[in-house]
Amino acid sequence: MKILVHDYSGHPFQAQLSRELARRGHDVVHSTCVAYVSGKGNLAADPADGLRFVTIGERTVLRKDAYVHRLFQETRLGLELARQLRRERPDVALLGNLPIPALVVAALTARALRLPWVLWHQDITAVALRAFAAAGVSKLMGVAARVFERGERWAARRAAAIVVIADSFARVHREWGTAGKVTVIPNWAPLDEIRPVARANAWSAEHGLTGVRTVLYSGTLGLKHHPVLLVRLAERLREQGERVRLVVVNDGPAVPVLREAAAARGVDLTLLPFQPYERLPEVLGSGDVLVVLLAADAGEFSVPSKTLSYLCAGRPVLGLMPADNLAAKLLDQAGSAVFPPEESALDAAADWVREVLSDPVRAERLGKEARALAEREFALENLASRFEEILGAARTARIMR
């Protein structure tokens, strides 16, 4: 079976799924968008993997803050993906993380080609836009939310099957009339690629972090997540007598905000761009406590993949996030801590971090529990089999028509 997997973001676990499907004998093409800046997975071609990597967005620099311009950019990216679909002519496609304009263009192309495709629904964009509109971020957001919801719903109805990452998505699909083709498969992280390593490692030495108590954040970080909370957390720890180095690995609009806030508050800060994927175990291993930050309005419909990587790395994790988020529930299961992403919760969050830093035995136990949970939840063989079955059924249904 020839399969085209498009993951707009280039995340590690989607690439791992493509490698596993190729290992099982399928002809797999894995497509990503290089214009989207984020921590990428292992996207290097290896003849032994038996799959090919292709990209869209080679000549595009996304302007996330220019909404109209971005709309045209994302439509053009959809046209690039459409050309890939026409060129590759797969038996079935699996499309994930696409912005709505690109998703609609891809769905139209698949319809014209009579190509069955599966929607891997990682985020419900319309829900996020409605939240922005309700918060008064922009009057245009209310209009955009309605238009984008129609496009997202239209595309979902054209998909042969839909994979969602949490049960909470099912409610929206019931409203859209697409719940009958929904399967819930939670996201995961690659256990074999993100492994626990020693706290003192080559990466920590290179950046002067060996022997320094470190609170670390690695991953995408938008302004909507209130990144200054990270600086305020480090400040609260200092006020409680615990001086830590805040390390943030990120490229994006949060960087100057963090730099300015840290300078104003006298917080020790190390700011680094996204690191090579092969060094991610060392990066995460260099944090005494790893932090996840998720805005209050993200709630049920966003599962930050960095949380899953943190669990694989076997470190204590602090979640500043809504308690109803699936990632928060995973942290609870692992024995780590979750607090609301609010200024008022920072004293309690700092108390927890300080207790972990002062108790190496507890910190080691929390790290082991995190890794053990990841090993239970992220076994690739069963996950890949479920995707293989869904993709095969979509292709068969098309042939039987």
* 179 SS3 class: helix
Split at pLDDT 50, 70, 90, the class of 44 is: confident
What CA–CA distance (Å, rounded) separates 297 from 135? 9
The CATH classification number of 202-377 equals 3.40.50.2000
Residues 235 and 296: their CA atoms lie apart, in Å, by 22
- Among 93, 97, 122, 126, smallest CA distance to 107 is for 93
**Sequence-ordered strand ranges (E) for 70-153:** 92-96, 117-121
pLDDT tens-digit map of 92-113: 999 999 999 999 999 999 999 9
For the beta sheet containing 337-339, the strands, ordered from the edge strand earlier in sequence to the opposite edge, are 269-272, 245-249, 214-218, 289-293, 317-320, 337-339
The residue extents of the domains of the chain are 2-188+379-400, 202-377
| CATH topology agreement for domains 2-188+379-400 and 202-377 | yes
Tokens 């970080």 correspond to 221
Q: What is the pLDDT of residue 146?
A: 78
**Sequence-distant (≥ 6) Cβ neighbours of residue 192 within 8 angstroms:** none
pLDDT, residue 168, reads 84
Task: Average the pLDDT over 194-208 and give the result.
Answer: 96
pLDDT at 121 over 70: yes
Least confident of 94-103, 220-229, 278-287, 332-341: 220-229
Lowest-confidence pick of 57-71, 92-106, 263-277: 57-71
What average pLDDT does this structure show over 156-177?
92
Q: Is the pTM of this model over 0.75?
A: yes
Q: Which of 399, 391, 377 is nearest to 186 (CA)?
A: 377
User: pLDDT tens digits, residue range 353-374?
Assistant: 999 999 999 999 999 999 999 9
The CATH architecture annotation of domain 2-188+379-400 reads 3-Layer(aba) Sandwich (3.40)
Q: Is residue 226's pLDDT more than 70? A: yes
pLDDT at position 263: 95
DSSP for 247-266, written as a single string: EEE--STHHHHHHHHHHHHT
What residue ranges in 8-109 does DSSP mark as E strands? Answer: 27-33, 51-56, 92-96
Question: pLDDT-based confidence at 19, cuts 50/70/90?
Answer: very high
Nearest to 309 by CA among 38, 120, 64, 96: 38
